[in-house]
Amino acid sequence: MPLLDIRNLSIEFDSPHGRIKAVDRVNLSINPGEIRGLVGESGSGKSLVAKAIMGILNDRWYVSADRLRYNGVDLLSLSAKERRKLMGREIAMVFQEPSSSLDPNDTVGHQLHESLPMDECDVSFFKRRKWREERIKAFLHKVGIRDHKRVMKSYPHELSEGICQKVMIAMTIAYKPRLLIADEPTTVIEAGAQDQIFKLFKKLNQLNEVSILLITHDLEHVESWTKTITVMYCGQTVESGYTKQIFKQPYHPYTMALLQSMPHFNAQLSRKSQLTALSGSVPSLQHLPIGCRLGPRCPRAQKLCVEIPKMEKVRGHYFSCHFPLTEQEGKKS
């Protein structure tokens, strides 16, 4: 049974132009111990999906799904309190904007003290403070923070976004969730330290069987660190399957365009490939094209594309396109 099982998740909001579907019938599943990448250009709905899983979208948003289950539990049927309790125990999220996730009125050290689970504490009451401090120091070192004393005494606004993000990641790993949702976890972290964070996630995954949803627009990270991948465009799932398989043989023109933007993939592209990176940008939600949302940007678009393509399945690999790339066109040389 998948740990997370999402079928036809839609997320809508009311605008002066009527109700708008920002996320349209997205499917996503994660098995225990799996690392899945969720990719797509900025504005494709990745963070909304993550927030819908966490149940933290405000009343402006209408969330519906045929299935939104965590470990067999229907999340949409839970009360807000039951949902918070389940999330608090089992699921952790690293947010895209770290400073807004930390309390600006409290020192980082105090926030770390408060969030550290005590279930592994095996020392007497009088030694607990010291035990906590040692654990926090160890977690801060794991995420690459060496000057832990200064960081712990500081308020979030006194630290860089990168350090705040590392603190958030330290809190998350201390907590040992069963599912970790990491939304662009390293964009504000310096390039040299990014690999250290990904190695840490991998270790968490291997040693504690933590499942991870890694949201990113960086395909190189996805290629190195994930087993499966879901590609979103403009609020819809366009392709999903095993990362290796999709990198070797994408069927959807959007996935192909994303892969073509990677320098090493581009160098190995088949000379016969007719596709170049897509022109234009993601359309605004108020002006969505009818039928396939990629239509106006797609070099393969034809008349039929004014009809919404169905999700097709080939050897465990899903894609929604009327004119998918042939094996020859999609293949690396």
Ligand X SMILES: Nc1ncnc2c1ncn2[C@@H]1O[C@H](COP(=O)(O)OP(=O)(O)O)[C@@H](O)[C@H]1O
CA distance 246 to 220: 13
Measure CA of the first residue to CA of the last residue in the chain; give whole Å: 37
Q: Report the nearest approach of Mg ion to the CB of residue 237 (Å).
A: 16
Which residues from 27-66 bind ligand X, rule CB under 6 A? 40, 42-48
Binding test (CB under 6 A) with ligand SF4, winner from 215, 232, 294, 325: 294
Are the C-beta atoms of residues 136 and 97 closer than 8 Å to each other? no
Which of ligand SF4, ligand X, Mg ion, none binds 40 (CB below 5-8 Å, type-dependent)? ligand X
Choose between 36 and 300: whose C-beta lies nearer to ligand X. Answer: 36
Q: Taking contact as CB under 6 A, which single stretch among the options 90-98, 110-118, 174-182, 319-327 is the one that binds ligand SF4?
A: 319-327
Total Cβ atoms within 10 A of residue 101: 16
User: Helix, strand or coil for residue 317?
Assistant: strand
Which of Mg ion, ligand X, ligand SF4, none binds 295 (CB below 5-8 Å, type-dependent)? ligand SF4
In 116-239, alpha helices (H)? 128-142, 148-153, 161-175, 191-208, 219-225
Q: Report the nearest approach of ligand X to the CB of residue 174 (Å).
A: 26
Pull the structure tokens for residue 19. Answer: 């109700």
Which of ligand X, ligand SF4, Mg ion, none binds 87 (CB below 5-8 Å, type-dependent)? none
Q: Report the nearest approach of ligand SF4 to the CB of residue 260 (Å).
A: 14
Are the C-beta atoms of residues 40 and 217 closer than 8 Å to each other? yes
Helix (H) or strand (E) holding 246: helix 243-248
Total Cβ atoms within 10 A of residue 44: 25
Choose between 45 and 185: whose C-beta lies nearer to ligand X. Answer: 45
Which of ligand X, Mg ion, ligand SF4, none binds 309 (CB below 5-8 Å, type-dependent)? ligand SF4
Choose between 151 and 294: whose C-beta lies nearer to ligand SF4. Answer: 294
22 binds ligand X (CB under 6 A): yes
156 binds ligand X (CB under 6 A): no
Q: Report the nearest approach of Mg ion to the CB of residue 243 (Å).
A: 20
Positive/negative CA dihedral, 274, 279, 281, 285: negative
Q: Report the nearest approach of ligand X to the CB of residue 38 (Å).
A: 9
Nearest residue to ligand X, by Cβ distance, number only: 47
CA distance 141 to 134: 11
Are the C-beta atoms of residues 63 and 76 closer than 8 Å to each other? yes
47 binds Mg ion (CB under 5 A): yes
Q: Distances in Å between the alpha carbon of 67 and those of 74, 77, 82, 260? A: 7, 11, 18, 34
Site string for ligand X, 251-290 (x = CB under 6 A): ----------------------------------x-----
CA distance 287 to 91: 35
How does DSSP assign 7-54, residue by residue?
EEEEEEEEETTEEEEEEEEEEEEE-TT-EEEEE-STTSSHHHHHHHHH
User: Helix, strand or coil for residue 328?
Assistant: helix
Which residues from 248-267 bind ligand SF4, rule CB under 6 A? 253
Choose between 58 and 124: whose C-beta lies nearer to ligand X. Answer: 58
Which of ligand X, ligand SF4, Mg ion, none binds 285 (CB below 5-8 Å, type-dependent)? ligand X
322 binds ligand SF4 (CB under 6 A): yes
Which residues from 73-132 bind ligand X, rule CB under 6 A? none
Interface residues with ligand X (CB under 6 A) are 22, 40, 42-48, 285
Interface residues with ligand SF4 (CB under 6 A) are 253, 292, 294-295, 298, 300-301, 305, 309, 321-323
Interface residues with Mg ion (CB under 5 A) are 47
